[in-house]
Amino acid sequence: MVTRKLPFTKLIILLSFATFSTNAFAASQQEIEERIRALNAELYDLHQQLQQVESPEDAAQGVPFEPLPEEAAREDLSERRELEQESSRNPFSITTHRTNYLFPVSYNTNPNRASFRNIADDTEADNTELKFQFSAKVKLAEQVLGDYGDVFFGYTQRSWWQAYNTDASSPFRETNYEPEVFIDFDNAWGALGWVNTRNRLALNHQSNGRSSPYSRSWNRVYLESTFQRGDWALTLAPHWRIPESEKEDDNPDIERYMGYGDIRLSKRLNNNHEVSGQLRGNPSAGNIGTQIDYSWPAFNSLRAHVQYYYGYGESMIDYDHRVHRLSLGFSLNPLFSATGLNR
C-alpha cells in the first residue's frame, strides 16, 4: 500500500513545486520591473543634481535637463515595453497600434469620380468628406524566440465618408481593412548616435471589401525597422507582395504606384508638438505618394491634427489616382509615445 501511494505523493510534491516556481517567477518579474522603475527615477534625480553642478543658472530657473539622444531613445523603448507588459497581464486588453484619428474636414481637389459612379451614378462625389482611422492590437504570445519576439494581431480600418453629400445619401466612398499578424523584436543597440529601438516582421492583408470591378486587395510581408536619435525617428518598411494568379489579381500594377515600401521621418518639437513626413511610391515609374502630419496637444488626451497628402497610394481604390488632400481634425496617440512610431 505504501508503494502504491508513493508515485501519487511524488506527483503532489512536483505539482506543488511547479506552482511555487511559477508564483516565484511572477513575483520575481514584478520585483525586477519595480526595481527598473526605481532606478529610472534615481537616474533622473542624478541628472538633476549633475545639472545643478554643471549649469547652476539653468537649474535655478527650473530648466529641465536634456538627456543624450541615445538615452532618450532607450527611455522611449523602456516605456513602450513596460506598457505592453502591463497590458499582457490582462488577457482582454488591447492597445493602440497605428495612429487613431478623426478628420471632420478632409478636402480633396481631385476626387476619384469614376469609382464613385459605382456608388451613386447620378451624383458627383463631394470634394469635402470625413476621414478617420481606427487601429488596435492585441498580444498573442511573448518571448517566442528565447528572450525576444512578441507576437501580435493588429487591425487597422481607414474610411473616407461622404458625410456631407446628402444628395447621394451620405455613403462611405471607400473603406480599407488591414488585418495583420506580426512579431516585434525590441532592441537597444546603436550606431552613430542612432538607436535601433524595434524591428517588426509582419504578414499583412489589405483590401477594400468591394466586388469586381472595384475590388482592390493585396497580401504582403514587410520588415519595419525604427531608429531613434533623441527627438528624431526614422522608420524604414520595405515590403514584398505575395504573388497572386492572374485570374485572382484585382490590381496587377499596384506596385507601379505603391512601390516597394514606406519611409517616414518624424520629429518631436517643443511642448510635445510632432511633425512627420512619409514617402511611398515607385520613383522609376514617376509615381510618388507623400504624406505630412503635424499634431499638438489640444485638450485632455486629444491632439489637434493636420494631415496633407499628395500623390498616389492614399487608399486602395485610389492607388493609381493622384490625390491632393488637406485634412483637419483630431488624433489620439502621439507618435513619440509608448504605442507610437507605427506607420
Question: What is the set of active-site residues?
Answer: 205, 207
C-alpha 11, offset from chain centre = 47
Instruction: Supply angle C-alpha 218, 286, 203, rounded to 5.
Output: 20
Q: In sequence order, what E strands does the chain have?
A: 95-96, 101-108, 128-141, 150-161, 172-191, 194-207, 217-229, 232-241, 261-268, 274-282, 287-299, 302-311, 323-331
| Cβ atoms within 10 Å of 249's Cβ, excluding its own | 14
Query: Which residues lie closer than 8 Å to 101 by C-beta, 6 or more apart?
Result: 131, 132, 133, 305, 307, 329, 330, 331, 332
Q: Do 267 and 231 form a contact (C-beta atoms < 8 A)?
A: yes
Q: Do 332 and 96 form a contact (C-beta atoms < 8 A)?
A: yes
Q: DSSP 3-state helix, strand, coil percentages of the chain (rounded to 5)?
A: 30, 40, 30
C-alpha cell at 132: 478617420
Q: Look at the chain and count its residues.
A: 343
3 state DSSP class of 61? coil
Axis crossing angle, helix 69-88 with helix 2-54, rounded to the nearest 10: 150
CA distance 21 to 24: 5
